[in-house]
Amino acid sequence: MRDLVYPLCALLAGLLGLVGLLALLRGDAATLVLPLGLPWVGSHFRLDPLSAVFLAIVGFGGFAASLFAVGYGRHEPAPGRVAPFFPAFLAGMALVVLADDAFTFLFAWEFMSLTSWALVMAHHREPGTTFAGFVYFVMAAFGTLALLLAFGLMAGPQGHYAFEAMRSGPHRLAGVVMILALLGAGSKAGLVPLHVWLPLAHPAAPSHVSALMSGVMTKVAIYGFIRIAFDLVGPPHWWWSVVVLVVASITAVLGLLYAVLQEDLKRLLAYSTVENVGIVFLGLSLALAFKANGMAAAAALAMTAALLHAVNHAVFKSLLFFGAGSVLAATGQRSLDRLGGLIRLMPATSALFLVGAASISALPPLNGFVSEWLTFQAVLVSPQLPQWALKFLTPAAGAMLALAAALAAACFVRAYGIAFLGRPRSPEATAAHEADGFQIGAMALLAAACVGIGVLPGPVIDALAPAVRHAVGGAGLAAQGGRAWMTLAPISDNRSSYSGALVLLFVAASAVISAALVRAVASRAVRRAPAWDCGFPNRRPATQYSASGFAQPLRRVFGSVVFRAREAVEMPPPGDPGPARFAVSLVDPVWDGLYAPVARAVDRAAERLNRLQFLTIRQYLTLVFAALVLLLSLLTVLR
């Protein structure tokens, strides 16, 4: 029975994905009303291009995860705590995307949180899991309440909860609704400063679930924001985009600064998710700005960039989490400093992980680069915006984006280099073995998608077009599919163009040519010898660069500013052969600045009030008496 769960999930999720894809290609909307949920409203479902895009993401992401899980599930220590919730989680995400009234939407949204919470708690005995689950669930509730308020405003006192009514209805306090939507969806997507749960919860969950949470659930959150901010609240106002822009660029950079210092592979991936969500929201903010100023073409460009990056991130982040999962299953280790040398022990896994790392670092000709390139193009249109605030902020955001892109490369060089290259740093890593067929299959599938979308972005972008039109209106981008050499020219040919296919062709060609030439003239002789290492080779793995050592320059440059990073080296006294100890102290500005005070405040309030539990009966009577007298005197005053 339990063995059947994942295959069935794979089947159903795959079907969902196909449905989404077909609906996207047909480009029209289908609706359905069931006599469920809120009485006198019923639960409405709608499959329009926008939801179709994300349904496809959910479907195919779920398919890959389930496929991976067919193999990975065998390593699961507590299958009974995962198998029941996994399908429910998938169903929840699919329902969110399909919902067409506020109740159904929030129902599915919170159901998604509930099931994923249960999945996070699957390994409830591991240290830290309980805390992670707690923070996650509370943040999820916070987000739901924020969205609930947003919907409450849009539904109005008569309670028109159907999205159709909201679209047409009077848009009261649209700005507040947008802020609430940003809070609600942002807390699930992991926007700074609402991201704190993400690096705790995603690593705590089983890896195929982490992949779903990072790769797919964050996208569902993004869908929520797009649905509300672009579809339901009516015409945007330009200052909205300023808010989103600032939050997004901070998220992008801060997320990576966290990521680059992590020593836990899965946590590193989780923080990089924060960064990518920031990039997507950056695109969305630009889309808002352009839409607010009636620049349909530019808005379409920005929206396309955002959607495409959402798709890409779903692909490569799932791939990376699968890789981390395979490593975890093979070595039982998540800490970078316990890994190393896996490229020889798990060749396939490491090769596929490399593809993922390259595409998340936005290297051409892979898919990550395409979406970031489009985002840059959107940034470059910003001078045409009339508002000065935007004129100034957008290039700054572009700079942040550039910084993020560079840091991403650094972060993943570190992750890959420490985990897969060099020599094994622990016996477990030495004993590692290659993952099984299903896992490799799933990863290969996603890697192929990375290359495919990177080389032939045109068709994908055209497929996204209906959703883009739905979100920002206007004619959308010019068709990108049918051009020579699959070239992208989002605005005009002599403005900017990029052809993944050609770049791939050129690089491959020149690599082959150079290799051939070298082979022709050069000596084929190869000799294996101990590493040179400036004449002092040392075989012990400890002599390799450690994760924290590798991060040291970046820590000094950025960490000292953002995290008040301090390094302490305690040397043994001269002549003492004992080892020197090195310690790094980091301060998380968000946690210490925002969450710790809140927690303290609640704690203090609870402590104060708790005295009321221990009063004497006379004192309780005094309370009653006071209430009575107060009300009576109010009666006299009120008249």
Partner 1 sequence: MSGLDFDLAHLFAGLMVLVCFLMLYQDRLYSLLNTFAVHAMVLSLAVAWQAYIQGAPQLYVTAAIALIFKAMVIPIALHRLIRRMDLHREIETVGGIGRTMLLGMALVALSISVMLPVTAAAGTLAREDLAFALSIVLLGLLMMITRRNAVSQVVGFMTLENGLILAATGAKGMPLVVEISVAFSVLIAFIVIGIFLFRIRERFDTVDVGALDSFRGDRR
Partner 2 sequence: MSLGAIALAGVLLTPLASAALLALLAGYRATARLNVVASGLSFLAALSLIAVRPLPNDFLFVDDLNVVFIVLNTFVGFTTSIFSATYIRHELETGRLTPVYLRFYHAMFQVMLFGMSLALASQNVGLMWVAVELATLTTVVMVGIYRTHEALEAAWKYFILGSVGIALALFGTILVYLAAQAVVGEGLPAMSWIVLVDNAPRFDPALLNLAFVFLMLGYGTKVGLAPLHAWLPDAHAEGPTPISAVLSGLLLNVALYAILRFKVVMAANPGAIAPGPLLITLGLVSLVFAALMLYRRRDIKRLFAYSSIEHMGVIAFAFGMGGPLANFAGLLHMTMHSLTKSAIFFAVGHVAQAKGTQKLDDMGGLTVTHPALGWGLVLGVIAIAGVPPMGVFMSEFLVVSSTFSRQPLLAIPLVLGLLLAFGALILRLQHVVFGDATGESHKVDASYAPMLIHLALVLAAGIALPPAIVAWFQNVSRALG
Partner 3 sequence: MGLAVALAPLLTGLVRAVKARLMRRRGPSVLQPYRDLLRLIRKEAVIAEDASWLFRAAPYMIFAATWVAVALVPTFATGLPFSWSADLIAIVALLGGARFFQALAGMDVGTSFGGIGSSREVMIASMAEPALLMVAFTLSLLAHSTQLSIISESLHYSNVGLRISVAMVLIALILVALAENARIPVDNPATHLELTMVHEAMVLEYSGRHLAMMEFGAALKLLLYMSIVGAVFMPLGMAQAHDSLVRQAVGLGAYLVKMAAGGVLLGAFEVSIAKMRVFRAPEFLGSAFMLGFLATLLLFVSKGGLR
Question: Which residues between 248 and 277 bind partner 2 (CB under 8 A)?
Answer: none
d(CA 100, CA 164): 8
Which option in partner 2, partner 1, partner 3, none does residue 148 bind, with CB closer than 5 to 8 A by kind? Answer: partner 2
Q: Is there a cis peptide before residue 459, judged by omega within 30 degrees of 0?
A: no
- Regarding 606 and contact with partner 1 (CB under 8 A), the answer is no
Partner in contact with 614, chosen from partner 3, partner 1, partner 2, none, beta carbon below 5 to 8 Å by kind: partner 1
Q: Which of 256, 235, 255, 287 is nearest to 394 (CA)?
A: 287
Q: Which does 8 bind (CB under 5 to 8 A by kind): partner 2, partner 3, partner 1, none?
A: none
Residue 533, interface with partner 3 (CB under 8 A)? Answer: yes
Cα angle, residue 352 at apex, residues 350 and 353 outer, rounded to 5°: 60
523 contributes a contact to partner 1 by CB under 8 A: no
DSSP letters for 268-331? HHHHHHHHHHHHHHHHHHHHHHHHHTT-HHHHHHHHHHHHHHHHHHHHHHHHHHHHHHHHHHHH
**Nearer of residues 101 and 337 to partner 3, judged by Cβ:** 337
Among 391, 566, 600, 604, indicate the residue that binds partner 3 (CB under 8 A).
391
Please identify, among the stretches 176-184, 326-334, 338-346, 593-601, the one whose residues bind partner 3 according to the rule CB under 8 A: 338-346
DSSP code, position 35: S
Of positions 58, 99, 155, 165, contacts partner 2 by CB under 8 A:
155
Regarding 189 and contact with partner 2 (CB under 8 A), the answer is no
> Which residue in the set 36, 431, 508, 602 belongs to the binding site for partner 3 (CB under 8 A)?
508
Distances (CA, A) of 257 to 318, 331, 401, 560, 591: 21, 27, 13, 11, 15
Q: Which residues contact 532 (CB under 8 A, 6 or more apart)?
A: none
Q: Tell me which residue has tokens 């836990």.
A: 264
Question: What does the DSSP 8-state code read for residue 216?
Answer: I
Nearest alpha carbon to residue 262 among 322, 193, 324, 176: 324
Selected binder of partner 3 within 22, 34, 36, 515 (CB under 8 A)? 515
Q: Choose from partner 1, partner 2, partner 3, none: what does 581 bind? Cβ within 5-8 Å by kind.
A: none
Nearer to partner 3, 154 or 404 (CB): 404
What is the chain's Cα-based Rg?
Answer: 27
Structure tokens at 583: 């310690």
Decide if residue 513 touches partner 1 (CB under 8 A): no
Q: Is residue 621 involved in binding partner 1 (CB under 8 A)?
A: yes
Distances (CA, A) of 123 to 52, 128, 324: 34, 10, 17
Of 55-63, 281-289, 538-546, 618-626, the window that binds partner 1 (rule: CB under 8 A) is 618-626
Any contact of residue 289 with partner 3 (CB under 8 A)? no
- As a whole number of angstroms, the distance between CA 571 and CA 567 comes to 13
From the list partner 3, partner 1, partner 2, none, which binds 636 (C-beta under 5 to 8 Å, kind-based)? partner 1
Report 345-374 residues binding partner 3 (CB under 8 A): 354, 358, 361-364, 369, 373
CA–CA dist 20, 254 (Å, integer): 34
529 touching partner 3, by CB under 8 A: yes
Stretch that binds partner 2, among 150-158, 227-235, 337-345, 410-418 (CB under 8 A): 150-158
Structure tokens at 202: 């995603």
Identify residues 590-609 at the interface with partner 2 (CB under 8 A).
602-603, 605-607, 609
CB of 605 to partner 1, least distance (A): 16
CA distance 602 to 610: 12
396: contact with partner 3 by CB under 8 A: yes
- C-alpha to C-alpha distances, 564 to 18, 87, 261, 561, 592, nearest whole angstrom: 49, 43, 13, 6, 12
Q: Which does 15 bind (CB under 5 to 8 A by kind): partner 1, partner 2, partner 3, none?
A: none
Q: Are strands 566-570 and 581-585 parallel, antiparallel or unpaired?
A: antiparallel
Tokens of 599: 């927690």
Q: Which positions touch partner 2 (CB under 8 A)?
A: 35-40, 102-103, 106-108, 110-111, 113-114, 121, 124-125, 129-130, 133-134, 137-138, 141-142, 145, 148-149, 151-153, 155-159, 161, 602-603, 605-607, 609-610, 612-613, 615, 617, 620-621, 623-624, 626-628, 631-632, 635, 638-639
Q: Which positions touch partner 1 (CB under 8 A)?
A: 610, 613-614, 616-618, 621-622, 624-625, 628-629, 632-633, 635-636, 639
